[in-house]
Amino acid sequence: MIHVGDVVKTYPLAGGSFTAIDQLDLDIAEGEFVAIVGRSGSGKTTLLNLLAGIDRPSSGTVRVAGADLGSLSESGLAAWRGRSVGLVFQFFQLLPTLTVAENVMLPMDFARTVPGGQRRDRAERLLERVGIAEQADKMPATLSGGQQQRAAIARALANDPPVLLADEPTGNLDSVTADAVLELFGDLNAEGRTIVVVTHERDIRSIVGREVTLKDGRLVTDQAERAMVTV
């Protein structure tokens, strides 16, 4: 489902360049639930951006949900994102001038996967699923941080994407809410969705099937179902 092959990502800097991802190889099979952990600045967000097609690698290949991201144009990437991945990033808040339900319907509008008449229904069902159905017709600014985050997850699920990428989805949440969100991820994974999540939550291991640790852009440990693999 996800293949990262010998990927290097360097950022140009004033004096030379900075290597954020260094010759990274990573394969994630369909249906896996992977957590990416590591210290601040270790390259987690950079890796996720590469998986989401937000950044292009300096070298190496990235294949996600059947598409070689390097060969897609910007609009090709947009269309691919619309159908194949759901993003839950801190940066991607809700659009301020659309209601919560409208925000959830927007990806369906872009991808035209769901027939027009069913979009509202589907949005309501997704919101119910993340537990904020009663907020459907409010403006995002009137929601709490956790409610916004859950609305963003509902939006990420709009087109029923096979892959879900999340960057610190629980960063701003209290521990109870954070647990609920992670549980939701677990349920989504149980339905067969491939999920990659960057997180600092300590008790993540009880939920995910695999934990990948980054350090200085390199893969240090890849721990799957309690089996240690050292690279």
Ligand X SMILES: Nc1ncnc2c1ncn2[C@@H]1O[C@H](COP(=O)(O)OP(=O)(O)OP(=O)(O)O)[C@@H](O)[C@H]1O
Binding site for ligand X (CB under 6 A): 11, 18, 20, 38, 40-46
Report if residue 107 touches other proteins, rule: CB under 8 A: yes
28-57 residues near Mg ion, rule: CB under 5 A: 45
Closest CA to 36 of 49, 21, 51, 47: 47
Closest CA to 151 of 127, 172, 170: 127
Which lies closer to ligand X via its Cβ, residue 50 or residue 157?
50
Give the DSSP H/E element, type plus range, for residue 34: strand 33-38
Pairing of strands 85-88, 67-68: unpaired
Helices assigned H by DSSP within the chain = 44-51, 74-84, 100-111, 119-129, 145-156, 175-190
Q: Minimum Å distance from CB 99 to ligand X?
A: 30
Q: Which residues contact 88 (CB under 8 A, 6 or more apart)?
A: 149, 152, 153, 156, 164, 165, 166, 167, 169
Which lies closer to other proteins via its Cβ, residue 25 or residue 145?
145
Report if residue 199 touches Mg ion, rule: CB under 5 A: no
Q: Minimum Å distance from CB 118 to other proteins?
A: 14
Report if residue 136 touches other proteins, rule: CB under 8 A: no
Given candidates 158, 198, 208, 219, which one binds other proteins under the rule CB under 8 A? 158
Given candidates 14, 66, 71, 74, which one binds other proteins under the rule CB under 8 A? 74
Assigned token pair, 224? 């799957």
How far is it, in rounded angstroms, from Cα 195 to Cα 150?
16
Binding site for other proteins (CB under 8 A): 49, 52, 54-55, 74-75, 78-79, 81-83, 87, 89, 91-98, 102, 105-107, 109-111, 116, 141, 155-156, 158-159
Binding site for Mg ion (CB under 5 A): 45
